[in-house]
């Protein structure tokens, strides 16, 4: 059906949300606006859905949410006798509405829905799936994207994001459905009354937090040590559980960034609520200058990522996701080794774009380091493999450069709540030794070498942008560079084609790639640096990941600058 036909159909049928009715009227006569809303359907995959809020098949709205949920309901009914789904949501615009609509569709299809009574973090949804023995979980969130986005993340029975096979099966069902006529909807109040929709209340908090509390490493860390914290939930879901767990471990000196304390899907104080970037943390940093804490914590809207800042003796500086991941890995492994609590044959897991400094730390403590594709679901899969062998106790820690960390196996996604607890515990542990986290990081660099990891992001909005991204990746495959910034490519990996090669004396020596397929290209250079090119799985952008190991920080920065300039030219972006 052509875009204009779809537009007219939506004007006739999409009458339940006044915001959509108004938007459809406003774009009348706007060919580009209509095309962008209807040229495709939001893509459903292992990351679920994510898109701009608004009217149309290429937007997040009650109709795209309902159709997706109808596909999930039919998928479950084909495979289970009495299926159930856990649902939660974050603070974003219409998140609560989308969660409620999903529950209504499930109930109408004979699938029991466990719906949280209030907004809760993504890791708590992962926990709720396992806690209620559900077959699927739905989390309404767009993580750290700007306010105009929302999303719909789907989880499997182990609490990990849905596998590609299951996602493909759901997508196949969705492809047969009409967005208006093929979706069943139950009356919400009646579904609650008859038990088709079960409300998850505050009773989930102690069950979840008990598991978080079990992940402590140094049980005496806070004894006789007053750690001062500034915390911002960035107007998201972390406010309640993060403060609860910090209070439980005995950390009382917590100052909240008041402007970012309560839920607000407009994110007026941080237009891009991403704890990776300084702008989102600026109010927290300003408060640090007045309060002088040991650590600044910032959790993103769905509280699966946490950013930090520490005092370096002159000012408060942001620690990168790579740095905090390495600090936590070193702390957990080092403490457990000294305390005699290290599991036999311990395993840590990180993504391919995460710092190689972790390799050196893992080797120091005899930890097997497993490398997986980008996306925390692959870390969750590694835990599942251990679980299937009865070896969950071997899992020590998992992390990725994008500020996601997990200790423990009670959930299968990154968890900013447990990370916040462990970070504060680590601060207390080192504070007793007279060491700050900034000093500890420098100590690790001095021991293992100066690693510098950086990312360039290039955004491509709309239909033309998506096509441009595809063309760029295929052009790189067709014209693979032999050198970058003057350094020869010694090793190349194409994860989409599951192939790679090394270059020795100009001769290509191919090798097979065993990781799952993914649209990622990796270039390893003769100077020990590397470049990874990867379109984001959740945002319309291409990400370039640089790794440089220099003699010192300035040397590493210089190498990074050369890599960045060369890569941008190589891709036609400069």
Rounded Cα gap, residues 158 and 129, in angstroms: 7
In 3D space, the residue among 150, 145, 276, 275 whose CA is nearest the CA of residue 541 turns out to be 145
Reduced to 3 states (helix: H, G, I; strand: E, B; else coil), residue 63 is helix
Q: Tokens for 192? A: 């609650």
The conformation of residue 265, written as its DSSP 8-state character, comes to: T
Specify whether the CB–CB gap between 311 and 243 falls below 8 A: no
Rounded Cα gap, residues 450 and 551, in angstroms: 7
CA-to-CA separations, 571 to 206, 495, 537, 563, in angstroms, rounded: 50, 18, 19, 12
Specify whether the CB–CB gap between 359 and 333 falls below 8 A: no
CA-to-CA separations, 274 to 143, 258, 299, 437, 537, in angstroms, rounded: 8, 18, 8, 22, 16
Number of residues that make up the chain: 574
Specify whether the CB–CB gap between 140 and 361 falls below 8 A: no
Whether 175 is catalytic:
no
Specify whether the CB–CB gap between 412 and 158 falls below 8 A: yes
Our CA dihedral for 19, 25, 29, 30, rounded to 10 degrees, sits at -10
Residue 214: burial class (beta carbons within 10 Å; 0-12, 13-18, 19+): exposed
Specify whether the CB–CB gap between 14 and 66 falls below 8 A: no
Phi and psi (nearest 5°) for 546? -110, 140
Task: List the catalytic residue out of 88, 91, 143, 402.
Answer: 143
CA-to-CA separations, 414 to 410, 453, 488, 512, in angstroms, rounded: 11, 20, 36, 30
Alpha-carbon radius of gyration of the chain:
24
**Residue written as tokens 């036909």?**
5
Strand-strand pairing, 49-52 and 149-155: antiparallel
Q: Tokens for 333? A: 């492994």
Phi and psi (nearest 5°) for 511? -145, 155
Q: Tokens for 284? A: 């927290």
The conformation of residue 66, written as its DSSP 8-state character, comes to: H
Rounded Cα gap, residues 473 and 457, in angstroms: 15
How is 423-483 classified by DSSP, letter by letter? HHHHHHHHHTTT--HHHHHHHHHHHH-EEEEEEEEEE--HHHHHHHHHHHHHHHHHT--SE
Residues designated catalytic? 143
């Amino acid at each position: 059906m052509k875009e204009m036909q779809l537009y007219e159909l939506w004007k006739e049928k999409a009458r339940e949300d006044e915001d959509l009715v108004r938007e459809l009227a406003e774009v009348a006569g706007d060919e580009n606006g209509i095309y962008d809303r209807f040229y495709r359907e939001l893509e459903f995959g292992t990351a679920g859905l994510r898109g701009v809020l608004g009217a149309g098949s290429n937007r997040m709205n009650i109709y795209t949410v309902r159709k997706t949920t109808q596909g999930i309901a039919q998928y479950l009914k084909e495979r289970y006798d009495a299926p159930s789904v856990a649902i939660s949501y974050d603070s974003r615009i219409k998140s609560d509405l989308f969660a409620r609509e999903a529950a209504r569709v499930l109930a109408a299809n004979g699938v029991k829905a466990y719906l949280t009574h209030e907004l809760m973090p993504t890791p708590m949804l992962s926990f709720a799936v396992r806690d209620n023995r559900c077959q699927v979980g739905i989390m309404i969130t767009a993580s750290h994207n700007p306010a105009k986005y929302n999303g719909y993340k789907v989880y499997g029975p182990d609490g990990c994001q849905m596998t590609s096979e299951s996602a493909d099966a759901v997508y196949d069902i969705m492809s047969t459905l009409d967005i208006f006529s093929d979706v069943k909807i139950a009356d919400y109040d009646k579904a609650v009354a008859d038990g088709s929709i079960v409300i998850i209340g505050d009773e989930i908090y102690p069950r979840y937090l008990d598991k978080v509390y079990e992940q402590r490493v140094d049980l005496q860390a806070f004894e006789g040590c007053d750690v001062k914290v500034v915390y911002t939930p960035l107007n998201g879901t972390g406010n309640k559980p993060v403060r609860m767990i910090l209070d439980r471990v005995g950390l009382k000196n917590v100052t909240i960034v008041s402007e970012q304390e309560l839920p607000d899907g407009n994110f007026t104080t941080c237009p891009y609520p991403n704890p990776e970037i300084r702008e989102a943390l600026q109010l927290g940093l300003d408060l640090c200058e007045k309060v002088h804490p040991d650590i600044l914590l910032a959790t993103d809207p769905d509280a699966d990522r946490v950013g930090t800042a520490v005092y370096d003796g002159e000012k408060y500086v942001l620690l990168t996701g790579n740095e905090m991941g390495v600090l936590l890995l070193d702390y957990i492994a080092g403490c457990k080794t000294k305390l005699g609590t290290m599991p036999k044959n311990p395993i840590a897991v990180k993504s391919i774009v995460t710092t190689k400094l972790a390799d050196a730390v893992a080797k120091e403590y005899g930890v097997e380091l497993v490398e997986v594709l980008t996306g925390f679901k692959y870390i969750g899969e590694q835990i599942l493999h251990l679980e299937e062998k009865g070896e969950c106790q071997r899992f020590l820690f998992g992390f990725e450069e994008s500020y996601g960390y997990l200790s423990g196996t009670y959930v299968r996604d990154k968890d900013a709540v447990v990370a916040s607890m462990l970070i504060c515990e680590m601060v207390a542990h080192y504070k007793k030794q007279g060491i700050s986290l900034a000093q500890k990081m420098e100590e690790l660099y001095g021991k293992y070498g100066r690693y510098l990891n950086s990312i360039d992001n290039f955004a491509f909005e709309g239909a033309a942008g998506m096509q441009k991204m595809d063309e760029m990746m295929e052009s790189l495959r067709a014209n693979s560079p032999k050198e970058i910034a003057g350094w020869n490519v010694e090793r190349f990996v194409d994860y989409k084609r599951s192939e790679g090669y090394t270059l020795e004396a100009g001769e290509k020596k191919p090798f097979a790639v065993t990781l799952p397929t993914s649209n990622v290209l990796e270039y390893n250079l003769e100077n020990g640096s590397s470049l990874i090119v990867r379109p984001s799985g959740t945002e319309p952008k291409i990400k370039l990941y640089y790794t440089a190991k220099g003699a010192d920080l300035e040397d590493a920065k210089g190498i990074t600058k050369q890599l960045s300039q060369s890569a941008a030219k190589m891709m036609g972006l400069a």
